[in-house]
Structure 1
């Protein structure tokens, strides 16, 4: 059996989508096109910080769990140095954004946050497109389904299903969601029903009443 890459693809899509949406929101807050009362400012801050934590966890587990599997399975077929360098470049920016998000909760000045989130969104777009272009064919050709499952399990350990599953539902296309349901079985529908309401409330508080 070949590895099932859909979960990784959707995780990448959620990271890119949320980062770009937050960059747009921060720019509109900085320019006065949207406003944030204290409750919304705290919610935006928490959402940004959780995003940074999730991105850091994802690329750290790629370094620690996925890269060794690829090197062991594919050998000289792929050079991971540029992708690892991208991960190293992301960390200082994620730390910067985390600090700016903390400050925003108090000051409600989103100028610095808007600039940094836009940089992050651009970096993620470029990095993830290159990663999927280079690595997905190699994974499909050389990595066993059993080794891939170990990688996915390692990545999943540091995530919150209550946060990540509704995001995947939000960003997945209908046919992709149907595929996930077939792979995961009835438990996925139960969990999505359980977590969907909280996710939508967070979305509306952070992104506005029409979100979620």
Structure 2
């Protein structure tokens, strides 16, 4: 009995740990937003609109988060603490500093969204960098000094009231996005604990739709959109091309083989080898389509790099057997280069 009680105490988390999970998401987004905006190409208004839309959501969520603390947490603590009042007053002062950086950022969002120019981009990125420095100093201080104070002087219900305040003041259309931001880097245990505090319908919506929606939204937001589209287009063209070639070898193998580039090719019963090639090409094309349909861009990038060896090998085989140099370089060499480029672009986008 005593052992069980001891284990429960050791594994129990203080009720303020949810704030640590929330702060983790805030730190990540403040860093990524500064990086992504700073890396945006001048004139790319589509990218600017996507990033500033997410930035606006982030600023709204941070404002609501701090407003809940200002309204519900600081007054209660100030009424119950004595020697530690300076900690609470310091939190209030830090909130004011963060609010000032938020207002500066909001003033820069509109002009850059309209023009996507380099000067506006750099000004916004610099403001975000300054904002993050002020913010992280506050978050670190709050976790180290305010959370232990709250655990001693507030009840769990009093602490959780700020979560209800946040939900009340946040548009319902933004809740799933912001929940995803919070849970993205949470451990499985933290995720379970955080979701346990939500109503059952909200948990069901998150599991059935929310987490997939968040993952897809973040993937689109964080990748280099133009690079990803080029890589995806090349991969799709490769899939179409190799599927067509595969079907051609199955329907009319001898006529198709004549354009391959080799000086001779199987005929009669020996042409069955050409059907085997057709099956392999068809399977290769379907693999590309399957990964595209699943949205697995990084996996598709690695597959395209591997597939680039096939036309490269065809080119070398034709040259080694004194076949058509025009076909070797113009068909197979060019195909290998395009497939290789697709794989590299997709992997680059995934890393971004």
TM-score range (shorter-chain normalised) is: 0.7 to 0.9
The aligned runs of 1:1-212 (5 Å cut-off) are: 4-29=15-40, 37-79=44-86, 80-109=88-117, 110-159=121-170, 160-184=174-198, 187=201, 189-193=203-207, 194-208=209-223, 210=350
Structure 1 residue 207: Cα displacement: 1.4
Deviations 1:11-50 (A, max 9, x none): 2221111011111112222xxxx57733322111111112
Q: How much does 1:56 deviate?
A: 1.6
Q: Is the 2:21–2:183 Cα contact (8 Å) retained in structure 1?
A: no
Contact 1:200 1:211 in 2 (8 A): no
CA distance in 1, matches of 2:56, 2:190: 28
Structure showing greater Rg: 2
Q: Work out the number of aligned pairs and report it.
A: 208
Residue 130 (structure 1) shift:
0.3
For structure 1, the residue ranges without an aligned partner over 5 or more in a row are: none
Shift of 1:125: 0.9
Post-superposition Cα deviations, 1:71-114, rounded to whole Å, max 9, x if no partner, equal 23334433222221111122222112112222222211311111
Tell me the CA shift for residue 181 of structure 1: 4.2
Q: TM-score, normalised by structure 1?
A: 0.85
Higher relative contact order (CA 8 A, sep 6+): 1
- The Cα offsets for residues 126-145 of structure 1, whole Å up to 9 and x where unpaired, read as 11100111111111112112
The two structures have a TM-score, normalised by structure 2, of 0.53
The answer for unaligned runs of 5 or more in structure 2 is 1-11, 224-348
Contact 2:105–2:128 (CA<8 Å) still a contact in 1?
yes
2:23, 2:139 within 8 Å by CA — same for their partners in 1? yes
* Contact persistence 1:58–1:155 (CA under 8 A): yes
8 Å contact from structure 1 (residues 14, 167) kept in 2: yes
Distance 1:10 1:157 in 2: 20
User: Contact between 1:2 and 1:140, CA under 8 Å: does it hold in 2?
Assistant: no
In structure 1, what is the equivalent of residue 228 of structure 2? none
Task: For 2:196 and 2:63, locate their aligned partners in 1 and report how far apart those are by CA, in whole Å.
Answer: 30
Q: Secondary structure at the match of 1:172?
A: coil
